[in-house]
């Protein structure tokens, strides 16, 4: 069943999907890590692919930038295509000098300055957290591969270029590790539907030190994050066999 944003048919997409923001990163993962790859989507150039990783069926698809974009794509993946495990793999800007370029964060929770959760008409503020099932597997995989990771909360922001250049310091004071633009919506959509979600991030720039990576490095250089996500996807697939 196609949607306005996805030309896939029911069954074309695996139960577990990796979700980079950049569709070219989805293409890179499919071409370099998956076997027997079939492209299921190119609508709006938001590329999606399904293949196998070490014998397990896995999909990967871009989500674009920001809460509205990932909100649409993940809603459709969950409700129209039956996806049960959604693993965002993205970049972030560090709020602490303890995090260096290419360091990896497992986002246990997401703060936000967005009003996304207002749609649920909750009598309070929703705390958007990762699924423990995926988070614990990711930490286990990282330890086995001897990959250092930091577990903690991130900020999902609606604004990339803002007038208050020091606003990040208030979030840092509360122990928030880094800024990105999608996780809060992903965790909300997953929680509401009763499915699993996790965000794994690689530090692409530091708001503290002003260091940054190039777009090409972000597209192709985040292999450790990809390896963790793919191994989690494989184990999740094995558990569902």
Phi/psi of residue 190, each to 5°? Answer: -65, -45
Long-range pairs of 208-213 with CB within 8 A, sequence gap ≥ 24? 208/94, 208/95, 208/96, 208/97, 209/97, 211/101, 212/101, 213/91, 213/101, 213/102
205 counts as catalytic: yes
Residues in the chain: 241
Q: Which of 197, 177, 189 is nearest to 92 (CA)?
A: 177
Selecting among 12, 22, 103, 205, the annotated active-site residue is 205
Q: Which residues are catalytic?
A: 205
């Amino acid at each position: 069943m196609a949607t306005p944003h996805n030309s896939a048919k029911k069954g074309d997409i695996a139960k577990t999907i990796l979700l980079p923001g950049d569709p070219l990163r989805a293409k890179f993962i499919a071409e370099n890590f998956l076997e027997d790859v079939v492209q299921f989507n190119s609508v709006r150039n938001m590329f999606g692919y399904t293949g196998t990783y070490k014998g397990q069926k896995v999909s990967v698809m871009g989500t674009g930038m920001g809460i509205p974009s990932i909100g649409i794509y993940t809603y459709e993946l969950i409700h129209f295509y039956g996806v049960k495990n959604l693993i965002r793999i993205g970049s972030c800007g560090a709020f602490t000098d303890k995090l260096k370029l290419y360091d990896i964060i497992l986002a246990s929770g997401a703060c936000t300055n967005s009003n996304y959760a207002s749609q649920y008409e909750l009598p309070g503020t929703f705390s958007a957290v990762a699924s423990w099932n995926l988070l614990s597997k990711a930490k286990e995989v990282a330890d086995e591969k001897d990959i250092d990771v930091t577990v903690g909360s991130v900020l999902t922001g609606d604004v990339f270029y803002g007038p208050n250049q020091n606003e990040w310091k208030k979030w840092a004071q509360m122990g928030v590790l880094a800024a990105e633009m999608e996780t809060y919506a992903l965790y909300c959509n997953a929680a509401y539907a009763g499915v699993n979600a996790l965000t794994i991030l690689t530090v692409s720039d530091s708001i503290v030190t002003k260091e940054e990576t190039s777009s090409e490095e972000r597209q192709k250089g985040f292999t450790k994050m990809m390896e963790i996500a793919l191994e989690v996807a494989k184990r999740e697939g094995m558990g569902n066999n």
